[in-house]
Amino acid sequence: MDESPDFSEEQFERQLREKRLAGEIAEAFVLQYEIERLSLDGHKVEAACVNRISKHRLNAGYDINSFNGKSLRLEHDRFIEVKGSGSTTIRFIWSTNEMRR
Rounded Cα distance between 14 and 10, Å, is 6
Per-residue confidence of the chain (101 residues) as pLDDT tens digits? 555 567 788 988 998 898 889 989 999 999 999 999 999 999 999 999 999 998 888 888 899 999 999 999 999 999 999 988 877 877 777 777 767 76
**pTM score:** 0.80
Whether the CB-CB separation of 33 and 47 falls below 8 Å is answered with no
3-state secondary structure of 18: helix
Rounded Cα distance between 14 and 91, Å, is 17
